[in-house]
Each structure stands twice: as C-alpha cells, then as structure tokens.
Amino acid sequence: MTNTKGSIQIIKSEIFAIHTEIICGVSTRNGGYSPEPYNLNMSTNVNDDQANVILNRKRYFGELNISLNQLAIPGQIHSDVVNRVTKPGTYDACDALLTNIPNIFLVVTIADCLPIFLYDPQTKSVAAVHVGWRGSESRILDKTINQMNASFGTKTNDLIVFIGPAAGLCCYEVGNEVADRFEEGYLQRYFGNKPHLDIKAFNRDLLIRAGVNNRNIEVSKFCTICNPRLFHSYRRDGKYSGRMMGTIGIRPKES
Ligand SMILES: [Zn+2]
C-alpha cells in the first residue's frame, strides 16, 4: 500500500492565522497513497483507485484533525446555488455551503477553479465556495454573502476571506465567447493566441464591491496550472488530473 506517500503539503492562509478557532487548508498533490499522476488525489470521480482516495482523504483531513464524517461536500455543478447546512454529508446541485455550526467542515474540490473561504468572526459563521468562470459571471460570491447576511446577520465588512490556489492570469486561457462576458480590465489579450482571464482579481473585486474590506482579503499567489510539483490541474493534465480539496470550519477552543 505504500508508493508515492511522502511528506504531505497543505496550503494554509495567513489571514486566518490569528483566528485559532478556524481550521482552513487546501491540499496539494504531495503526500498521497495513489501512484502518479494522482498522488494525493481527493476525488472519486477520476481514474484513481477508490481505496487510495479514502486513504488520501484520511491523511489530509487527519493532518487537520478532521474526521471524514465531519465533512460537508457540495456536488459542484458550476451553479450559483448556495446551501446552508446543519449537518455533515453530501449536498448535490450546489457550489457554495455555509454554516454556523462548529465542527462541520465545508469542502471545495478543485483543480484550477477557485476555492474561496469566508469567515465572520462576529457571528462565528463560515462559507466555502467553488468558483469557475460560470460562478464568477453569475456572482455566486454575492449570493453567498447575501445568504450569510440573511441567515446569520453577518455584516459584510466583518468578513475575512481567503481566495486559494487556482488558475492564474499567467495561464488561464479562455475563448472569446467567455472573455466577452468580463470587463476588459480582467483580460490580458497579448499573452498568447487566446485571451487570459484574471479570475482571482475579478472575484476579489466582487468582494470589495460587496463591502468586504480589502485588507481582510488574502489572494493566494499560486497558479495551479504552472506549478505541477504542487498542484493538480485539469487544464494542464486533462483526464490525468487528480483533484485537491480545500476546507474551512470552526473548532471551538477547549475550555
Ligand atoms: Zn500560471
């Protein structure tokens, strides 16, 4: 059962560091039980051995002291559907989850799309959002914030947000039919044959326009596509790409 398993690497945010009740991380491709190219693959929907995927999940979440029965996992269909959850489990047909219940760890599965994590330290509520270009265009982040306002009384300017590793402007090519949906300021048309989209900046600016304080937003510098040693990338590897999982949840301090 041992093959590629080396030391595990997890991407942590700096912005949640002082909030020790928040557990947040994004897996990389390193430290898994699966043979290459899957290594630390989290998805059962790719051509990887299912038993290895379970071992990979146990290892990654175990590193964060999370057990698999504490996870809430969205189906992710590139929708703008936000789901409030009160217990762990699988939630089909949505791309964002939110909760104010401790010890439920919200999951985003990614390989180039953005994993975005929100925390309101006043109401002790969290959200995890899966955002590709469709979710950007449909502004699923706005809908998530509105839902936090309505469900928990979150004030938008209290929110702290981590935008995790994802396709960067350096590599994220889109067709003209996609580029035309975004303002010119988020496009770079001179990097290659196709326009490049700065999907991280687009979503950061959505947050700022919604009322999130810029200093409460951290944007990961990592591009998944051009860091093959660290990240799975569907754009880069196609059907040979594994998936990462990011998670956020609240662990009450022990008294
Ligand atoms: Zn890149």
What is the 151 CA–ligand 1 centroid distance (Å)? 37
What is the 168 CA–ligand 1 centroid distance (Å)? 5
What is the 203 CA–ligand 1 centroid distance (Å)? 17
What is the 171 CA–ligand 1 centroid distance (Å)? 4
Q: Which structural domains are found in the chain, ordered by start? A: 10-166+217-250 (3.60.140.10)
Chain Cα centroid distance, residue 60? 15
What is the 237 CA–ligand 1 centroid distance (Å)? 14
Which of 158, 167, 90, 160 shows the shortest CA–CA distance to 136? 167
pLDDT at 113: 98
Summarize the confidence of residues 191-219 as an average pLDDT.
96
Other C-beta atoms lying within 10 Å of the C-beta of residue 134: 16
- 120-124, 173-177, 208-212, 251-255: which range is least confident on average? 251-255
Summarize the confidence of residues 99-123 as an average pLDDT.
98
What is the 228 CA–ligand 1 centroid distance (Å)? 10
Indicate whether 2 pLDDT > 80.
no
Taking phi first (over 0 means left), then psi (-120 to 50 degrees means alpha), and beta for anything else, what does residue 187 get?
Answer: beta
Task: Quote the tokens at residue 184.
Answer: 């010119």
Is the previous residue joined to 37 through a cis bond, with omega within 30 degrees of 0? yes
Half-sphere exposure of 63 (CA within 13 A, CB side): 22
Contact 127/106 with Cβ under 8 angstroms?
Answer: yes
Residue scoring higher pLDDT (254 or 186): 186
For residue 9, the one-letter residue type is Q
What is the 225 CA–ligand 1 centroid distance (Å)? 5
Per the prediction, the chain carries an average pLDDT of: 96
pLDDT in tens, 226-242: 999 999 999 999 999 99
What is the 248 CA–ligand 1 centroid distance (Å)? 25
Indicate whether 181 pLDDT > 60.
yes
What is the number of helices (H) and of strands (E) in the chain? 6, 14
Indicate whether 4 pLDDT > 60.
no
What is the 130 CA–ligand 1 centroid distance (Å)? 19
Is the pTM higher than 0.85? The answer reads yes
Confidence band of 62 (pLDDT split at 50, 70, 90): very high
What is the 212 CA–ligand 1 centroid distance (Å)? 26
Which of 204, 100, 213 shows the shortest CA–CA distance to 158? 213
What is the 232 CA–ligand 1 centroid distance (Å)? 12
pLDDT at 1: 41
Task: Quote the tokens at residue 92.
Answer: 């089909």
Strands 71-74 and 105-110: parallel
Summarize the confidence of residues 31-36 as an average pLDDT.
96
Percent share of the chain, pLDDT over 70? 98
pLDDT at 191: 83
Summarize the confidence of residues 156-178 as an average pLDDT.
97
